Amino acid sequence: MPTLTLLPSGKTIDAAAGATILQAVLAAGEAIPQKCDGKAECGSCHVFVHDGRKTLSKIQRLENEKLDTLVGVSSKSRLACQAVLGDEPVTVELLSFV
């Protein structure tokens, strides 16, 4: 069971491998911006992955196309609704803008 550390709070939660970052954050009762129910349509769940990027699922076409439309994207950017957790710990920074 991987751990997911949320920045800036530093809170660490246990997450199920195979869950998306969005699912894990919501299951832990934490808040994360989301408008499209995990369909990669809005980009509001944009996060920066600081550690553990290689354990996440690869970016698929739909996620890549949405990231291309967002401001402030970097090589650490993922959509929490599309990034599936593997078996290793992951640290993500939750953003408050789209």
Q: Give the CATH number for residue 22.
A: 3.10.20.30
- Write the pLDDT tens digit of every residue in 3-20: 999 999 999 999 999 999
Place of tokens 């290689």: 54
Average pLDDT score, the chain? 94
52, two tokens:
């553990």
> pTM score > 0.75 for this model?
yes
Residue range(s) defining the domain that contains residue 58: 3-94
- Measure the CA–CA gap between 65 and 18, rounded to whole angstroms: 22
Which band of pLDDT confidence, cut at 50, 70 and 90, is reported for residue 95? Answer: confident
How many distinct structural domains can be found in the chain? 1
- Write the pLDDT tens digit of every residue in 52-72: 999 999 999 999 999 999 999
51 and 76 Cβ atoms separated by less than 8 Å:
no
Q: Which long-range contacts (CB under 8 A, 24 or more apart) does 8-14 make?
A: 8/93, 8/94
